[in-house]
Amino acid sequence: MQSRSETLHLRSAGTSVVIDLTTPGFPAIIHWGEDLGELSQSQLADMAIAARPQRVSGGLDTPSRLTLVPLESAGWQNEPGLVGSRHGHDFSPAFDAPEAHNGTVDEFDATSVTLRAVDKCTQLELETTLTLDGAGLLHQQHTLTNLGPTDYELQHLLATFPVPQSARELLDTTGRHLRERSPQRHTFTTGRHVRDSRRGRPGADSTLFLAAGTPGFGFERGLVHAVHLAWSGNQRVAAERTVGAHALLQAGELLSPGELILAPGESYTTPDALGSWGDGLTAVSARFHESVRARTSHPSSSRPVTLNTWEAVYFDHDLDRLARLADAGARVGAERFVLDDGWFHGRRDDTAGLGDWFVDNEVWPDGLAPIVDHVTALGMQFGLWVEPEMINTDSELARAHPEWILQAGGRLPIEGRQQQVLDLSNPAVFDYLLERFDALLRQYAIAYLKWDHNRDLLEAGSTVTGRAAVHSNVLALYELLDELKARHPELEIESCASGGARVDLGILAHTDRIWTSDCIEPIERLTIQKYTNVVIPYELMGAHVGGPRSHSTGRQHELSLRAGVALPGHFGIEWDISRLDDAELSDIAAWVDAHKRVRELAHTGRAVYADLPDESADLRGVVARDGGHALFTYTQVTTSTSYPPGTITFPGLEDDRTYRVSLASPTAPLESAGQSPLAWTEHPVHLTGRALRTTGIQAPVLFPEQLRLIDIFAI
């Protein structure tokens, strides 16, 4: 335990955070980024003095500071960090400044600090915890407690991260169903850039992260800071630059009017807001990945190759057909077989049955035992699709309990996917769902649940409280997931939400992977997976091989592209392979074997992306933790203006080590008609990591939408 001071220094994994406790209103971070080394208390105090702004003409007599919770009472004239009131009163809190001598600063060590402050006028207590974890990722959470005798309505409480003045460009993601996490950039000018999600889940159009960096920053270079909110409901992330030369990122839960009212003595804790930084997005990503992989709940076993039945059979649940599909899956090396939608009562299409979580006796007269037993006898795990949070109005449950549906004003919201949403915060609903799925898990050898969530929330009010209930439903969901896993410790759960509409580290604290997107077409997946991977490591990203013709785009691609793009992720198959001949099955088996050979590398190594000057091509890879092995995929996405396309350079390798570079199977040899052989594929070359990073090698000449694997081994 270090001695208390007016300036605190947190250090971990190459990151320093310096906190000034003397700023008006609340403490401020005056440095977040590169490790500053050992600093004396005198040096820290001088840093705080050096950060104080001057008073200027036309401004306040006490210049405002960007604090952890910027407040109007301290002169902040932009978006406050805390907004709320008691029916319009006590709307502007002014907290006592934390001071070391009175014990307001408690729990301080080299990597974390907890600060407490009280406003006696508004009768609020604010506790802030900052933690630098073992990856150098900065965690920030606030807890607000109502000390007064009346209710306090909270509108928002945001985590605030300062970014350097060099951050002049913003990057976030947007999207839609079948095209999540598309990147978008714009200049970080004076003003506020806000990304709200009001869909009851992050949503397909939400941003997974918000990054601010030097103009033109890429994956390989450029100072960049980024935030992610680990929360599975409504949320707000924002970037703001002020005329007072402050630049900041903010993240927090987005609350509906009256949704969060603190009764006397009650507290609210914000979701974990995570901040990462580095020279390039790869460094930012590495901190996220290392932090996620250090969780005690992180999957420790190899991620099973998964065969999912959805695009193979849809609702056609015929035992013989499914058994043949399972046989083919076992033959090619699948390790998990997942029975998708259509197994429960009244579920012949997507218009009915949700909520009636009993096996349909007409489709499965002997229950699920025949298919479960067949799958497990083949040595595969059995998985099952479920959508517990949803309900069709055409269901026995809806007819019996219409009051269990989220709604406002006594009317049901507009339907989405012919379905409504259950109120998990209602104890009766929670108990029903827990009983139903616990019973299924006890009856059958189910190792995996594909937990879907196929519509956005609208007018999500509870009939129990009469108030908006997104916040309480997210907490109830987390509790339900945890209780099922506590009762069934070997159970794994996937978070699917009409594809990738609920991708965040909040849901992944309670589940074992996300379904990255309903679109598994490989060209679309290149972008989707790249920007999902900024925060989510490959082993938690479901990535499947579809059939030759994409169900979502209609385009056709060869197997090497479809499988090569999926290769580093949590690999699987989404295709009726029971109809294929022996040669085609052997080709798939070769790709399954290739994945198994590299999955430890892909699921423990460092993901890297090359910033190629020619945007017609894509080069990405994974480098082993010890730097001794790397696997890259090179994709010719479109035709290039250059022919041959020129050189490609490889990031992430160790400069002073020598590597052997070669094409890897099972991608086919390069076509040679009309072109000379590529020298380094005929005679593998040996180059240093520095040479590969700077000079590079001649790129393969490929047709558009072709992919090749490149193996790089240290010698």
Active site residues: 452, 518
Strands 210-213, 223-230: parallel, antiparallel or unpaired by DSSP? antiparallel
DSSP state of 412: P
Q: Beta-carbon neighbour count of residue 66 at 10 Å?
A: 25
Cβ proximity of 413 and 407 under 8 Å:
yes
Strands 381-386, 448-451: parallel, antiparallel or unpaired by DSSP? parallel
Cβ proximity of 40 and 2 under 8 Å:
no
Cβ proximity of 39 and 24 under 8 Å:
no
User: What's CA 122's distance to the chain center, in Å?
Assistant: 37
Residue 126, beta-bridge partner list: 117, 144
CA–CA dist 137, 297 (Å, integer): 18
Could you give the 3-state DSSP secondary structure of residue 440?
helix
Cβ proximity of 712 and 632 under 8 Å:
yes
Q: What is the 3-state secondary structure (H, E, C) of 59-123?
A: CCCCCCCCCCCCCHHHCCCCCCCEEEEECCECCCCCCCCCCHHHCCEEEECCCEEEEEEEECCCC
**Torsion of the alpha carbons at 144, 150, 153 and 157, rounded to the nearest 10:** -10
Cβ proximity of 659 and 665 under 8 Å:
no
Q: Beta-carbon neighbour count of residue 623 at 10 Å?
A: 24
Cβ proximity of 249 and 210 under 8 Å:
yes
CA–CA dist 62, 21 (Å, integer): 16
Q: Which two tokens stand for residue 78?
A: 């932009």
Q: Beta-carbon neighbour count of residue 151 at 10 Å?
A: 13
DSSP state of 216: T
User: What's CA 77's distance to the chain center, in Å?
Assistant: 32
